[in-house]
Structure 1
């Protein structure tokens, strides 16, 4: 299947990390976006819409199916959760039909399972899906997330000015830390730099975020997966030198167990993310995942590579033939 062979190695590099004591190994968990997107029609799709039931179901499945025992501990609520307007105090609120008990109750349920809760927002006026953003409300939203019991905040970059990124993400990180609640902070700062053809300030990024997106969103296809692998092998601006405990280059979610990859392609996908020491955020339906894909995601030897405490990102040392394409 593979038209070439890439050999990867690792070199130890000492870098300065965001000093919040979190994400000392790559974050492991489940995130809804690639599989469930922004489905908000709960009448037609009651089991698959972005609502509290979906996330409670996934928390249950993480525990019952052995994923929690293997180290998958975060349940991440992505875009499309907010109501159209803030409340009278200027605080964010969840869509009342899809989250009738509110985000705090959902976080409490996830915590009751021994898991951790993550939430999504955007630095701009709107989220990437067009929901209300955090612009001009950074401190209020940071405190709201802490009050709700968030353990991770994914802060996106849509509908924001590129020139503001170098100020906005550090400010949000400051406000999150000011709450006193430990929360992993993940951002797409270098991804925006790449889009704008700006050399990323990786030292500043690493001091601000615990993990950061750089390249394109993953899709449930081999072309997408191999495109990310090929791009990652170029080590853009020596990004691997800034990767390690406390701060991680993030090649995006794991789509093993969906529809677009063959069994061998799933092995390449998951194996390479483990070699990259990448965050392992599953984007699939754990309620119905097949046994073959499940066994791959729970492979103890692969997870040991990914969770090695040195946290070194694998890099290519030799290429035989052309880049992987088929």
Structure 2
């Protein structure tokens, strides 16, 4: 809290926080559950275009992802062409020939929402024009295009937390006054502990780590694999809830080493399906935003079934909005528990080892759940009434997910 207090004092624009919070009560309702969608980074990067976004929108509708709850299509870095004579941003005219309003209208016609990217500095991570000192103008421009979501990065900006808070707060205020509800994703990478201050800056979600790579676990301190990111989520559950979410970065599911950023230009070939399945299950338990970045037009059937699993999505989108916490850790087996709005509990039994394991936990004794429960196995889609134990045979890096409900 010292970081937040220091930032509030240092930032001259932060006067009337309580009044602003009351005035913008509807602002907090923009992300009552974690956002679900797709982002152009990793796979398309600098090749993102009008056609790519339209193709992804078409695929999201036709393959059942929209029906499963996915709704945002976020254009990441490299879309900017520059500023015009009135200092308004405009897109790259070759890759977005009809402009952003045209593209937003197309996405909206599919019943989906569109997001865009900028940076709290003069240049983005990719070296194109950012929004620093043009926050009000850019927010109004995004609103005029029909943008529904802004990912706001922090490349080329000062490192101190005070400046970070002030810059993010300024854009948050600009979005609130833009005339359009726009979900605000703060992409600060976690070094300045944004879970302590990002919601006060107007954020609906905030990155907690560096960019994820399409690798299970990295032994290189300069790379963050899925497990490196998962480990960093311990202790953050109390900072997330309806209206504001911890964001452990994009889902790597289905990339299989494709995309120069996710694989660091081919240095590794991604994960296997079992690891992707566990990755998705853990992110659902963590109430993480479910943002994909693979080519939706070329999805493998098993990945599509996984990503549209109604039980896992139901856990992630549960209205109670309680992030899972670890309730048991024995050797390489970790058990996470997530309370649900209907009084149920989601349980994930996770084998961290690369070796197979057989687990057998007594629900009362080991998990400290005392009421009689029915246990629904998400993978098998089978319920055991008045279950006494949870038994699983897990492959390396595998998990089992159960939904426990009160037995009659």
SS at match of 2:42: helix
The secondary structure found in structure 1 opposite 2:210 is: coil
User: 1:34: Cα distance to partner?
Assistant: 2.1
1:29 and 2:37 equivalent?
yes
1:284 aligns with 2:284: no
SS of the residue aligned with 1:267?
helix
Distance 1:125 1:296, change over 3 A: same
The structure in which a higher percent of residues are strand is 2
- Decide whether the 8 Å contact of 2:195 with 2:239 is kept in 1: no
TM-score normalised by structure 2 residue count = 0.69
Shift of 1:166: 1.3
Q: Which runs of structure 1 show a deviation greater than 4 angstroms over 4 or more consecutive aligned residues?
A: none
**Stretch of structure 1 that moved more, 216-225 or 74-83:** 216-225
CA distance in structure 1 between the partners assigned to 2:308 and 2:272 by the alignment: 18
Write the deviation string for residues 216-238 of structure 1: whole angstroms up to 9, x where unpaired.
Answer: 21111112111111222x32xxx
Say yes or no: does 1:274 pair with 2:271. Answer: no
Instruction: Name the structure, 1 or 2, with higher relative contact order (CA <8 Å, separation 6+).
Output: 1
Q: Deviations over 1:126-184 (max 9, x none)?
A: 10111111111111101100001000111111111133111111111111111121000
Residue 242 of structure 1 is matched in structure 2 by 239
Residue 319 of structure 1 and its aligned partner are, at CA, apart by 1.3
CA distance in 2, matches of 1:98, 1:135: 24
8 Å contact 2:286–2:324 — kept in the other structure? yes
Within a 5 Å distance, the mapping from 1:13-24 to structure 2 comes to: 19=25, 20=27, 21-24=29-32
Q: Give the structure 1 partner of residue 183 of structure 2.
A: 184
Q: Any stretches of 5+ residues in structure 1 without a counterpart?
A: 1-15, 39-48, 195-199
Corresponding residue to 2:274 among 258, 264, 271: 264
What's the counterpart of residue 78 of structure 1?
76
Provide the aligned length of Structure 1 versus Structure 2.
Answer: 290
CA distance, structure 1, for counterparts of residue 34 and residue 195 of structure 2: 21
Aligned to 1:227: 228
Judging changes above 3 Å, is the alpha-carbon distance between structure 1 residues 230 and 325 closer, same or farther for their aligned structure 2 residues? farther
Instruction: Tell me the residue number matched to 1:54.
Output: 52
CA contact 2:189–2:211 (8 Å) conserved in 1: no
Partner of 2:115: 118
1:158 to 2:155 alignment: yes
Q: How does 1:140-159 map to 2 (within 5 A)?
A: 140-159=137-156
1:213 match: 207
Tell me the equivalent position of 1:131: 128
Q: Could you state the TM-score of these two structures normalised by the residue count of structure 1?
A: 0.85
Q: Is the 8 A contact 2:191 2:209 kept in 1?
A: no
Deviation at 1:192, TM superposition (A): 3.9
Q: Contact 2:186/2:203 (CA < 8 Å) preserved in 1? A: yes
Per residue, is there more helix in 1 or in 2? 1
Partner Cα separation in structure 2 for residue 256 and residue 189 of structure 1? 23
User: What is the rounded CA distance, in whole Å, between the counterparts of 1:142 and 1:256 in structure 2?
Assistant: 32
Question: What is the CA distance between 1:322 and its match in structure 2?
Answer: 4.6
Q: CA deviation at 1:65?
A: 0.3
Based on CA coordinates, which of the two structures has the bigger radius of gyration? 2
User: 2:97 matched to 1:100?
Assistant: yes
Q: Give me the whole-angstrom Cα distance separating, in 1, the residues matched to 2:125 and 2:190.
A: 14
In the TM superposition, residue 264 of structure 1 has moved relative to its aligned partner by: 0.8
